[in-house]
């Protein structure tokens, strides 16, 4: 299934981690179609450079950026506040940014960093922007997850910050699993009020996620030759994200997990509705304990 080549003039899209990789490819495509495209990025200098490049590439002057550090809930709160103040509504939110770290690190709010930057920051951002999203009767939330969610058997409920037994791959898998469970619960809670939520495995991408030594030196040595042989380009990885952001054909399937342009089979842990509900409640507590007040759902 191909993404609709529709004109998106008058639509507003927010893409996290949009200065490079899949996020940049998604932003470029949606900006080319005329959407007001907002790049939510951690590094302001890189974001400004990406904005300039995309304006020149697409001819769309309605491309801009906002600062967002997903590992810092206060930054998420500021970003959401700036978006709410500056735009009337959001049609598409692409929760794309992410990564992994080889050693356990905690954020300023005491959350394990991989969990925070891939999942909890996006949970908080989405919750803070829900009222703006619900102004569109068919708003889209696209969560870029991964088949890496199969690296873990479930959410470590008794140790969500990995105080014991941290490993880069299991922590990454937990964060990606959380994204899929969040997608299911978001669709369950808000599908009837117009929110369409999807999670997607974009494939193995030869972007700067793998180019940097994020998983440790040994992993980098293993990954480099594989990237050259089997990886998709960011543009290829972006195709299903764009499909989910634009096509009406996907609207009949809410809360699903996607790969290669079609719904896909996630792990048993990722399809447990009780875990999805429990994760939502845990995430709400973690965000509020971090000092960020969430609006009533």
- Residues 106, 54: contact at Cβ < 8 Å? no
Q: Is 172 a catalytic residue?
A: yes
> What 3-state DSSP class applies to 69?
coil
152-160: list long-range contacts, CB under 8 Å, 24+ apart: 152/177, 152/269, 153/269, 154/269, 154/272, 154/275, 155/181, 155/269, 155/275, 155/278, 155/279, 155/282, 157/278, 157/282, 160/112, 160/115, 160/282, 160/286
- Identify the DSSP state of 294: P
Residue closest to 89 by CA, chosen among 34, 23, 138: 138
Polymer length of the chain: 297
- Residues 231, 205: contact at Cβ < 8 Å? yes
Structure tokens at 173: 């898998």
Q: Annotated catalytic residue: which of 119, 123, 162, 172?
A: 172
- Residues 71, 107: contact at Cβ < 8 Å? yes
Active site residues: 172
């Amino acid at each position: 299934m191909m993404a609709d080549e529709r004109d998106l003039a008058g639509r507003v899209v927010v893409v996290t981690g949009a200065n490079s990789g899949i996020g940049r490819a998604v932003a470029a495509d949606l900006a080319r179609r005329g959407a007001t495209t907002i790049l939510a990025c951690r590094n302001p200098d890189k974001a400004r450079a990406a904005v300039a490049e995309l304006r020149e590439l697409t001819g769309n002057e309605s491309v801009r950026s906002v600062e967002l550090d997903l590992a810092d809930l206060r930054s998420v709160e500021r970003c959401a506040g700036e978006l709410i103040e500056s735009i009337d509504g959001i049609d598409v939110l692409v929760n794309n940014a992410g990564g992994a770290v080889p050693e356990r690190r905690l954020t300023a709010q005491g959350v394990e960093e991989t969990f925070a930057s891939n999942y909890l920051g996006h949970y908080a951002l989405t919750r803070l922007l829900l009222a703006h999203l619900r102004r569109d009767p068919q708003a889209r939330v696209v969560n870029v997850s991964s088949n890496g969610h199969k690296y873990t058997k479930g959410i470590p409920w008794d140790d969500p910050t990995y105080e014991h037994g941290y490993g880069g791959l299991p922590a990454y898998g937990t964060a990606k699993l959380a994204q899929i469970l969040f997608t299911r619960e978001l669709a369950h809670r808000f599908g009837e009020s117009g929110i369409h939520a999807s999670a997607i495995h974009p494939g193995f991408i030869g972007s700067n996620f793998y180019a940097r030594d994020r998983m440790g030196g040994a992993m980098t040595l293993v990954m480099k030759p594989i990237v050259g042989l089997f990886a998709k380009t960011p543009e290829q990885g972006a195709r299903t994200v764009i499909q989910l952001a634009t096509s009406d054909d996907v609207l009949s399937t809410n809360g699903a997990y996607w790969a290669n342009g079609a719904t896909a089979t996630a792990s048993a842990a990722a399809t447990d509705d009780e875990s999805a509900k429990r994760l939502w409640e845990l995430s709400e507590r973690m965000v509020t304990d971090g000092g960020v007040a969430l609006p009533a759902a």
